[in-house]
């Protein structure tokens, strides 16, 4: 199959699934709401290679499953600098996936690495990151199969 056609098919399927996910989240009514992830931009950042996009999706899924519990543990210990470092680790993959809402949440958490704030502020930031990552994980798990199809 031609790579351009494969990429176009992938983009269409991901866009359709994102619209469905946004409708479930209630953000479809708000046209200014950022998509869970920008499939076209993510594919472009992966050099228009669906296999690379699938790999980055898998890296995020594994990192999120490992790092989010570590974030909670660091938060429970009051180690806000570690909370920030863990947020920073997630941010890079989220940026590669063009996952705007989750990336912005990671940036909020990352700030604790440089200038620790209060525990309540950190709790809120980590909670937002966890929620955004859970939504993104659900979307990516559905789309990984599509990304695997040539």
Burial class (CB in 10 A: 0-12, 13-18, 19+), 47: exposed
CA torsion through residues 39, 41, 43, 46, sign: negative
State if pTM tops 0.85.
Answer: no
CATH number at residue 51: 1.20.120.160
The pLDDT of residue 6 is above 90: no
Angle 30-41-133 (CA atoms, 0-180°, nearest 5)?
A: 60
Q: Which domain holds residue 37?
A: 3-148
Burial class (CB in 10 A: 0-12, 13-18, 19+), 115: exposed
pLDDT digits (tens, 9 = 90+) for 80-110: 999 999 999 999 999 999 999 999 999 999 9
Query: Averaged over 50-74, what is the pLDDT?
Result: 95
Residue 126 has φ and ψ, to the nearest 5°, of: -70, -40
Task: Indicate the number of domains in the chain.
Answer: 1
Residue 31, pLDDT score: 36
For the chain, give the mean pLDDT: 82
pLDDT digits (tens, 9 = 90+) for 21-45: 554 444 433 434 778 989 999 999 9
Number of H helices, E strands in the chain: 6, 0
């Amino acid at each position: 199959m031609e790579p351009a056609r494969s990429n176009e098919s992938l983009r269409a399927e991901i866009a359709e699934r994102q619209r469905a996910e946004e409708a479930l989240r209630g953000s479809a009514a708000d046209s200014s709401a950022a998509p869970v992830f920008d499939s076209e931009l993510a594919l472009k950042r992966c050099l228009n290679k669906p296999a690379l996009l699938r790999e980055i999706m898998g890296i995020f899924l594994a990192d999120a499953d490992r790092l989010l519990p570590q974030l909670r543990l660091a938060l429970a210990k009051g180690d806000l600098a570690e909370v920030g470092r863990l947020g920073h680790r997630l941010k890079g993959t989220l940026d590669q996936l063009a996952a705007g809402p989750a990336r912005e949440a990671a940036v909020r958490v990352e700030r604790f690495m440089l200038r620790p704030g209060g525990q309540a502020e950190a709790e809120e930031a980590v909670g937002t990151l966890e929620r955004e990552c859970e939504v993104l994980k659900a979307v990516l798990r559905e789309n990984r199969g599509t990304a695997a199809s040539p």
